[in-house]
């Protein structure tokens, strides 16, 4: 049986939840060009359509190719910031028509290597269903709709993983949360919950 194992630890001011899918027979060739695998820029259309059914609006993507690309599509690998040459951004409006955040996808002009959703709410519980819908749709569209098929024992669904991160954040006195999922659909998935002065920023990062 495939398992999702979780380890929780307090490190400084942050709580880190690390989880991995242990997949039998699920192999990935490191020699395969990363730009020829995984999701594409066109997948934003699927995300738009799925979320529209839940009254969440995702705008048409806008390309960013100037010096501000780092503000939208920078990610960290081995502790170092990585930049991309091409990035698109979209605005996300919640089911009430209010600004919720954005979804950015970046990589080369031909194909992306990363996607990030930055969603900011007044409290962790604000827009909970909208936030979960955006994150679940992104994972199911850009990674795979296969979480439950892996028969994970710790987190039976994407929403249960998100709920666990929310619980750690609340129980820790609202210290910052970082959670990582490995080996699901040959992608790395990160969730960060960060306290701000008068809001909470929830960030989902997907890397090929």
User: In this predicted model, what pLDDT tens digit does every residue of 188-197 receive, in sequence order?
Assistant: 999 999 999 9
Supply the DSSP symbol for 57: E
Helix, strand, or coil (residue 147): coil
Supply the DSSP symbol for 46: H
Rounding to the nearest 10 degrees, give the CA dihedral for residues 207, 65, 134, 156. Answer: 0
CA distances from 7 to 14, 15, 17, 125, 130 (A): 14, 10, 6, 24, 27
For the record, the structure tokens of 46 come out as: 């699927």
This prediction has a pTM of 0.84
Distance CA 202, CA 197 (A): 14
Most confident of 63-77, 178-192, 193-207: 193-207
Do the beta carbons of residue 206 and residue 189 sit within 8 Å? yes
Q: How many CB atoms lie within 10 A of CB 135?
A: 22
Q: How many CB atoms lie within 10 A of CB 28?
A: 12
pLDDT tens-place string over residues 103-159: 999 999 999 999 999 999 999 999 999 999 999 999 999 999 988 887 666 788 999
Strand 176-184 relative to strand 14-22: parallel, antiparallel, unpaired?
A: parallel
Q: How many CB atoms lie within 10 A of CB 79?
A: 5
Most confident of 3-7, 17-21, 180-184, 187-191: 187-191
- Domain residue spans in the chain? 3-207
């Amino acid at each position: 049986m495939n398992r999702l194992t979780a380890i929780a630890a307090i490190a400084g001011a942050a709580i880190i939840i690390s989880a991995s899918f242990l997949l039998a027979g699920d192999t990935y060739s490191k020699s395969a060009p990363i730009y020829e695998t995984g999701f594409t820029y066109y997948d934003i259309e699927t995300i738009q359509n799925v979320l529209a059914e839940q009254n969440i609006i995702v705008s048409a993507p806008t390309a960013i190719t100037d010096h501000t690309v780092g503000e939208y599509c920078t990610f960290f690998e081995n502790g170092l910031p990585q930049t991309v040459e091409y990035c698109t951004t979209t605005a996300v409006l919640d089911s009430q028509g209010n600004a919720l955040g954005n979804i950015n996808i970046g990589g080369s002009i031909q194909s992306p290597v990363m996607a990030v959703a930055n969603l900011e709410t007044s409290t962790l519980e604000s827009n909970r269903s909208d936030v979960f819908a955006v994150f679940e749709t992104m994972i199911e569209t850009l990674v795979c709709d296969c979480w439950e098929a892996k028969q994970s024992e710790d987190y039976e669904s994407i929403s249960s993983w998100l709920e666990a991160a929310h619980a750690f954040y609340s129980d820790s006195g609202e210290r910052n949360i970082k959670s990582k999922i490995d080996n699901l659909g040959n992608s790395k998935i990160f969730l960060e919950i960060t306290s701000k002065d008068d809001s909470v920023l929830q960030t989902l990062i997907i890397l090929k």
